[in-house]
A and B are shown apart, each in its own frame.
Chain A
């Protein structure tokens, strides 16, 4: 049934017909009325009579139905859980097409961010391992330490023998002896007693650098701790650089696509669709850069392991945490360009064609 033609013919007033959009809307209504009447058991003639009565009323109201504001059609994807996976696949394919269109830009963006991720992960992984070993070493020293020596915390335990001091006549044999005293209470209280005992027993010895074992360990670890803090700072800087770089890359990419976004908006794309379009490209860059960066970090940490002693270079928690932080930074870095893209005025964008 061609309701549209019949409504157009019925609703011409002063030589003017209704707009196509109004005709389409009224014809859909007429079709609904006809089908409802037929579903209620009416014959074709009876249903058509109901629609004819409707047409007569619309003819009387024709002046109020004329000239509607034309707006672009919104295209909605069909709903359903099956389509979620299909949507993700479609987004991924579209993202790859976008990246393939600008291969140099895509490679530079991914590698730059991957280097930032790799550097940050390597640094944090080693720093975390060193700092956690310090904690374990401190516990070990305070729990069952019985010998002393010039060994540092990172050195392996050497075999040692005890010799009475009085039997060592030659001062060159032990040029700088280290005296270790275990106390049952605060060792600082016993320093004066210790000085007088040493003075009585070995008058030629001068006590110097008197400190508790905790202070000794902390002093020993001061340098590696400083290195760790500095490296952690560099790591944070690398992550920040990666985030700023990603923001700049995305802002540039969106600026290059203003015309395309303007055309899409003119064709009915909603702001959410434009944001989704930008996020597609970002997700692929972030996933690609994170994968390459973590692989680089693993390789770099492995090659640095020969410079470390008693410390594993790969810290799983750090790898996962840095990956998660970079993904979060990527998401934040792309929101501003995405929202800016969604606000592109289609008229201004199209005028620049």
Chain B
């Protein structure tokens, strides 16, 4: 598998944990989630935005996040997503899985994360 293929596979696997992690502390809307992933990863993970909303809807169908239209005074309504209790458990589990994965990479191939 070439490097671009590896990147594609890694991005696919990390999409859900990225979204869950961004929703851990506060609710956000879809555009904000995509923008934050791009900013905080410094461009290394650029979401193909077309896959963002299908992923959000899939997570919502699984009960890991909850999406609601919120209307504030003098603002147009926006759809905000927040983490559900099941989502928090999934996030904790995914974090453990990724940490274990990185430790194994480090032991086997000398790949350390920052």
> Which residues does A use to contact B, with CB under 8 Å?
21-22, 24-26, 28-29, 32-33, 36, 54, 57-58, 60-61, 64-65, 68-69, 71-78
Contacts and interface: CB of A to CB of B under 8 A. Distances in A.
Contact of B54 (A21, A61, A72, A77): A61
Interface string B15-40: 00000000000000111001100000
6 contacts: A25-B79, A28-B79, A61-B50, A73-B70, A74-B68, A76-B71
Contacts of B50: 54, 57-58, 60-61
A64 B61 CA distance: 12
B98 interface: no
Nearest to B33: A29
Contacts of B68: 71, 73-74
Contacts of B35: 32, 36
Contacts, number: 70
B53 A73 contact: no
Interface string B92-109: 000000000000000000
Interface in B76-104: 76-79
Interface of B: 29-31, 34-35, 48-51, 53-54, 57-58, 60, 67-74, 76-79
A65 B30 contact: no
A236 B51 CA distance: 66
A217 B68 CA distance: 73
A65 B53 contact: yes
B77 A54 contact: no
Nearest to B66: A71
B87 to A, nearest CB: 16
A57 to B, nearest CB: 3
A78 B31 contact: no
- Closest 4 pairs between A and B when the two form their complex, measured CB to CB: A57-B50, A64-B54, A78-B73, A32-B31
Contacts of B70: 73-76
A60 B72 CA distance: 33
A64 B49 CA distance: 13
A78 B74 contact: yes
Given A29-B31, A29-B49, A54-B49, A76 B57 contact: no
Contacts of B48: 57
A72 B79 CA distance: 11
Contacts of B71: 73-76
B79 to A, nearest CB: 5
B74 A25 contact: no
Contact of A73 (B58, B60, B69, B73): B69
Contacts of A75: 70-72
Contacts of B69: 21, 71-74
A77 B72 CA distance: 6
Nearest to A83: B73
A28 B51 contact: no
Nearest to A57: B50
Nearest to A66: B57
